[in-house]
Amino acid sequence: MAKETLLHDDQDFHHGQGLPGPTLPGGDLPMGDPEVINTLNTLLEATRDGDYGFTTAAGYTDSSHLKTRLDRRASECREAGQELQALIVRLGGAAAEGGSTAGALHRGWVSVRGTLSHYSDEAMLEECERGEDAEMAAYIKALTSNLPPGVRSVVERQAQVVRRNQGEVQAMRDSLHTNRR
**Helix pair 121-143, 64-90: axis angle to 10 deg:** 20
Which parts of the chain fold into alpha helices (H)? 34-60, 64-90, 101-116, 121-143, 149-180
Q: What is the pTM of this model?
A: 0.75
Residue 40's nearest CA partner among 105, 97, 87, 102 is 87
Given the candidates 3.40.190.170, 3.40.50.261, 1.20.1250.20, 1.20.1260.10, the CATH classification of the domain at 33-94+102-180 is: 1.20.1260.10
- How many whole angstroms separate alpha carbon 151 and alpha carbon 129? 26
**Alpha carbon distance, N-terminus to C-terminus of the chain:** 35
Per-residue pLDDT of the chain (181 residues; tens, 9 = 90+): 333 333 333 323 233 333 334 445 444 556 678 999 999 999 999 999 899 889 988 988 888 999 999 999 999 999 999 999 999 999 999 888 755 455 455 445 455 555 545 557 888 888 888 889 999 999 999 999 999 999 999 999 999 999 999 999 999 888 876 766 5
- Domain-wise residue ranges, the chain: 33-94+102-180
